[in-house]
Amino acid sequence: MADNKQEKYSNPFNATFTGIMDLFRKHEPAGELKPTDRFDGKTVLVDGASSGLGFAIAIEVARRGAKVIMVCRSGIPGKGEKVKRLSRSDDIHMLQVDYSDLLSIRRLVAGIRDQFGKIDILICNAGLVPKKSRKTPQGLEEMFMVNYLSKFIFVNLLLKENCFRHSGSGHPRIIFVSSETHRNPRKFDWDSFGVYKEYSINKSLELYGYYKLLLTTFAVELSRRLNADEFKYSVFAICPGPINSNIGREAPKIFHPLMKLIFALFFKSPPRAAIPVVYLAASPDMENKPFDYLFLMSREEADEKALNPENGKRLWEMSVQLVESIWVLD
């Protein structure tokens, strides 16, 4: 089995094996989510909240007193009603988005600005592993857009519209759900950045890792830029570990019974996987930190490619150029 980081997640079998082995490795916890870690008076936005990890995060933050904005592509209003029931909170709100579509992201940001004004904590969780490449309305590749570029656009629009609350009760926190697969790619492929390319299921996981590398590099660079003069925002990235969620929904049907079994036996339930994410969002331990990366509940260095300022600067500039080009086409 692969023992070098570059090959650990290169195909579904290696990725599943690595994920399971990682769960059995001993991890030094960064801290602990306590019953006193609450969100009273705070607004928490979580996206991808219709399923898996995002749904579980929505319930946990609602139980801990937050006003919750569930941003979902599907499941409106049913999933929100379920979160209300399970959390015993009525302060649950829903907004619709399709992150593959630039127009939809703009509508989402307008909705947040007009209906809620400010948010305190943003949890960017939505993601997918498609079975093949698909074109977005603006001609980009869907996984590139949903797993990386939409987050660049979304966060920058929220910043532009002044949607983060700066108050006495702590700095805004921006959390990206990434993945240890971000360590997989050997290097950045700058030449094909944003260029639509055809692929099928055997390439999906490799590209998934690459887009998580882009996401993690963006998270580091975002923190660098937002906190250049003084500390104003906490930006965190996390790999929640393997989760018994719907992430494998596009895998060939023939593998579904086996995947269901392995996921149920070895992977974490969404409520358990949500704990470190909620820790990042709620814990006073995380105050005054411009950046941190957790794998499960333990603190790790993000991959050196993501931490490299030259890569961060290049990614940022190329993302701006790409967004401007699709904005014009729009």
Q: Inter-axis angle of helices 309-329 and 150-160, to 10 degrees?
A: 80
Told to check if 53 binds ligand NAP by CB under 6 A, we report yes
Rounded to a whole number of angstroms, the minimum distance from the CB of residue 225 to ligand NAP is: 23
CB-wise, 53 or 109, nearer to ligand NAP? 53
From 4-12, 221-229, 240-248, 306-314, span contacting ligand NAP (CB under 6 A): 240-248
Q: State the residue for tokens 């690459």.
A: 210
Told to check if 245 binds ligand NAP by CB under 6 A, we report yes
Q: State the residue for tokens 């127009």.
A: 103
Told to check if 73 binds ligand NAP by CB under 6 A, we report yes
Told to check if 100 binds ligand NAP by CB under 6 A, we report yes
For the chain, how are helix, strand and coil distributed in percent, rounded to 5? 50, 15, 35
Report the alpha-carbon distance of residue 203 to residue 10 in Å, rounded. Answer: 9
Output DSSP code: residue 145: I
Rounded to a whole number of angstroms, the minimum distance from the CB of residue 211 to ligand NAP is: 9
Quick one: which of 68, 153, 163, 239 contacts ligand NAP (CB under 6 A)?
239
Contact 269, 263 (CB under 8 A): no
From 33-41, 59-67, 92-100, 187-195, span contacting ligand NAP (CB under 6 A): 92-100
Closest CA to 53 of 294, 302, 242: 242
Told to check if 54 binds ligand NAP by CB under 6 A, we report yes
Site for ligand NAP in 132-171 (CB under 6 A): 146
Quick one: which of 243, 282, 306, 322 contacts ligand NAP (CB under 6 A)?
243
Quick one: which of 8, 18, 98, 235 contacts ligand NAP (CB under 6 A)?
98
Site for ligand NAP in 10-49 (CB under 6 A): 48
Report the alpha-carbon distance of residue 161 to residue 90 in Å, rounded. Answer: 27
Told to check if 125 binds ligand NAP by CB under 6 A, we report yes
Rounded to a whole number of angstroms, the minimum distance from the CB of residue 153 to ligand NAP is: 12
Told to check if 99 binds ligand NAP by CB under 6 A, we report yes
CB-wise, 171 or 277, nearer to ligand NAP? 277
Rounded to a whole number of angstroms, the minimum distance from the CB of residue 177 to ligand NAP is: 4
The beta-carbon contacts of 302-306 under 8 Å, at least 24 apart in sequence, are 302/182, 302/216, 302/219, 302/220, 302/237, 303/182, 303/183, 303/213, 303/216, 305/185, 305/187, 305/188, 305/213, 305/217, 306/182, 306/213, 306/216, 306/217, 306/219, 306/220
Residue with nearest beta carbon to ligand NAP: 52
As given in the structure block, the two tokens for residue 195 are 């260029």
CB-wise, 138 or 171, nearer to ligand NAP? 138
C-alpha separations of 188 from 83, 209, 279, 312 in Å: 39, 11, 31, 11
The single-letter code of the amino acid at 145 is: M
The distance of Cα 93 from the centroid of its chain, to the nearest Å, equals 20
Residue span 250-289 as binding mask against ligand NAP, x where in contact by CB under 6 A, dash where not:
----------------------------------------
C-alpha separations of 32 from 26, 60, 279 in Å: 16, 15, 7
Told to check if 242 binds ligand NAP by CB under 6 A, we report yes
Q: Please give the residue ranges that form the binding site for ligand NAP (CB under 6 A).
A: 48, 50-54, 73-74, 97-100, 125-128, 146, 177, 179, 239-240, 242-243, 245-247
